[in-house]
Amino acid sequence: GQNIDQPTEMTATEGAIVQINCTYQTSGFNGLFWYQQHAGEAPTFLSYNVLDGLEEKGRFSSFLSRSKGYSYLPLKELQMKDSASYLCAVREAAGGYQKVTFGTGTKLQVIP
């Protein structure tokens, strides 16, 4: 099984930098995803990490430390449209099927 923890809510100012953290516990780690979900809409894929380190991808890079069971999503130059929930999801090898489990998400509010 898996246990994924994220802060419930965060608030940041337009133009600033914010870091959304995710910690997880799993027995068969095989990748970590970040998704963005605006209210009332479907999640959209942001980034994927399977190796340690920073995966650079424009404003939506992501960092992973497998030994610490930790990932973070650094959001730069925040825009009002970045107000959304950010979901951390962990893929776990479970027999022939690699199951993806989502955290409860971090609701980010960007203020002027």
Q: Which residues bind another protein (CB under 8 A)?
A: 4, 31, 33, 35, 41-45, 48, 50, 87, 89, 91, 94, 96-105
Q: In whole angstroms, how close is the CB of 15 to another protein at the nearest point?
A: 28
Residue 16 or residue 50: which is nearer to another protein going by CB? Answer: 50
Residue 27 or residue 97: which is nearer to another protein going by CB? Answer: 97
Q: Across the chain, where does the E strand assignment appear?
A: 2-5, 9-13, 18-26, 29-37, 44-49, 53-55, 62-65, 70-75, 84-94, 97-102, 106-111
Q: In whole angstroms, how close is the CB of 53 to another protein at the nearest point?
A: 15
Q: In whole angstroms, how close is the CB of 85 to another protein at the nearest point?
A: 8
Q: Tokens 């992973």: give the residue.
A: 64
- Closest by CA to 10, choosing from 61, 85, 74, 68, is 85
The Cα–Cα gap between 38 and 64 comes to 24
| 102: β partners | 89
Residue 9 or residue 77: which is nearer to another protein going by CB? Answer: 9
Q: In whole angstroms, how close is the CB of 103 to another protein at the nearest point?
A: 5
Residue 51 or residue 112: which is nearer to another protein going by CB? Answer: 51
